[in-house]
A and B are shown apart, each in its own frame.
Chain A
Amino acid sequence: MKRVLLASLILSGFALSGEFTLKKPPESLKKYYPPQSEKFEFLNNMHTMSTAFYAVQLNINDGNWEKATQWAKKLVETYKKTAEMVPEWKKYFDFKKAEAYLKAVESKNVDSVIKASQELGKTCAKCHQDNEIAVKIYYRFPNFSEIKIEDPVEFMEYELEDFMVKLTRSLQALNVYLSQNQPDKVQEHGMNFVERARAVKEMCSKCHTDKRDVEAITGKDYDQALNTLEELLNAEKPDFNKIKQITAKVTLTCYTCHNVHYIPSKIKSAFSK
């Protein structure tokens, strides 16, 4: 039973409470992420500690106290090193609890290990609750604010946000003139939307260097939908119903990308200000 409890410690993870605040990560963390470092030293330490923590539990459950002690030493050693890496976060680290954890494992007493694990785990959890999401967004998500797109209608380069406004306005204009039954305007604004929607793909490839990633979202189906929309718009007598249907298909892609990228990009943008 004790061993089951021990195993459940790691499985519980670090849950966030109902309300939390995202704070911009400290500047001192920068040196452990690209472009200053390609080694992800801080993140690797997190992985090392997490693995060591679980390795201790696995080995205790296996009755292998010798290996458990080795892993506990590794955990405590990495914990201490990590505390020095970001001075602003030193307060999160409690060396006494780390030492107590090591002693508990060395004592080969499961009750002591459970207690010490919980105590040490709390120091990790507190830091994760306060910072993990912010760090991931700040250091791991792309910086959309630096992406520029050339507008295929105006042949001008715009920042992404401004380009997205233009794309949205084209779509809205298309819908407005569809509802007002004005074929010439539908054709004009519809084609602007088609060209701008095609240019969206340029943006994906700025980060997604594997073409398969881009193809999965803005691939053949997307291209085909835009080609069909172009044909419908250029028809002698445009079929408004079909135009509406195919436009809805194209805009599904908007949701797909926004669901993944929109929120992190907004948070990252706020951090950058």
Chain B
Amino acid sequence: MKFLFLFLFLVALTGCEKINEIFLEEDLLQRPPAKRCADCHAEIYKAWKESRHAKAWISEHFKQESENYSKLKCLPCHAPHQVDPLEKPLLRVERRHEGVNCVACHFKEETKAMHGPYKVWSPPHPSKEDKNYTKSEICAGCHRKTYKEWKLARVQTTCQQCHMKVKDITWIMDKFPFLLFHTRKPLHDHTFPAGKATPKDLKTFLTEEGLKIVNVGIPHNLPTADQGNPKLYIIAEVYYQNGKKRVIRKILSPQSNTALRYLEPYNIKIPKYEEVEKVVLKIYRRLAWKKERELILVDELKPFKLAEK
């Protein structure tokens, strides 16, 4: 408490600018390591550490896919120097092992300040309110393909609304007593979850034209990736009235250009439709960097005509 009064006294005495100078921590303007940011933003750091962004460079999957970092074109997005809206970043020189780290997204060379969505007074480092952080365009420099798909979907929902949801209304910096000088704000999820489609996101129909699957809930292709190759596995067990069974398998992926487009039906031809009794449909997904498949939908469909009877 004494410290607080002393601080307020100093502010009154010298003004905010002087305080900025006194409390400025020079190293924060020298592109510090992510751990340094954790001194004041421990919660955000903890979340980021769990994220794919933190593993963007060191992930075994990336190491393998980039042939031990020899595919140079891939590298800038896995260790960007500065993330700007719609711009493909340059490859960072220092601490590439941190992947998409704090300074890559928040520190701007032009202003020598930390940018973010809020207007804050932060004496240890200059801060700039930057509304780009609330828009999908900030993600588009690296997630180009997904951004284009999202644009085609023509929805209002931004990347951040699904992949950086508000976790809490709290202090975005959590170092006592400095947090007392801030108001609580929405704290966005810095684990950047990939999200998982649910049965509600997929509509299925069985008609004469075939088995139709429509992505009605995810406003970009499902699955989506620029260079990675996440997959959907479709297994349709077709049961015929004569007791025979046929299994149709499909893999949908961004790299084979077969991913489910938003609101665009994907059609699987069902041979001898007239004789079909039912179709048991299972859809699994596999994230690009994972081995295991996860079930996202099980459905049993009857031919349209039979259902009418």
Contacts and interface: CB of A to CB of B under 8 A. Distances in A.
A195 interface: yes
B256 A202 contact: yes
Contact of A198 (B74, B145, B256): B256
Contacts of B73: 209-210
A195 B257 contact: no
Interface stretch (A43-51, A117-125, A149-157, A263-271): A149-157
B249 interface: yes
Given A35-B70, A155-B233, A209-B74, A202 B250 contact: no
A207 B256 contact: no
Nearest to A220: B257
B181 interface: no
A35 B258 CA distance: 32
Nearest to A207: B71
Given A34-B70, A153-B249, A198-B258, A234 B233 contact: no
Contacts of A234: 269, 271
Contacts of A19: none
A106 interface: no
Contact of B227 (A143, A198, A209): A209
Interface string B220-231: 000000010101
B255 interface: yes
Given A150-B231, A199-B256, A223-B257, A155 B67 contact: no
Contacts of A204: 255
Interface string A158-189: 00000000000000000000000000000100
A210 B251 CA distance: 23
Interface in B257-274: 257-258, 269, 271
B50 interface: no
Contacts of A202: 229, 253, 255-256
Contacts of A198: 256-258
Contact of B255 (A33, A35, A205, A223): A205
Interface string A234-259: 10000000000000000000000000
Interface in A112-159: 142-143, 146, 150, 152-153, 155
Contacts of B269: 230-231, 234
A195 B233 contact: no
A187 to B, nearest CB: 7
B65 interface: yes
A27 interface: no
Contact of A155 (B65, B251, B256, B258): B251
A237 B250 CA distance: 23
B72 interface: yes
A146 B249 contact: no
Contacts of A195: 249-251
Contacts of B121: none
B69 A34 contact: yes
Nearest to B226: A209
B271 A143 contact: no
Interface of B: 64-65, 67-74, 145, 227, 229, 231, 233, 248-251, 253, 255-258, 269, 271
6 contacts: A35-B70, A146-B67, A152-B250, A191-B248, A205-B255, A210-B73
The 8 closest A-B pairs by CB, nearest first: A34-B70, A234-B269, A152-B251, A202-B255, A35-B70, A35-B68, A205-B255, A201-B256
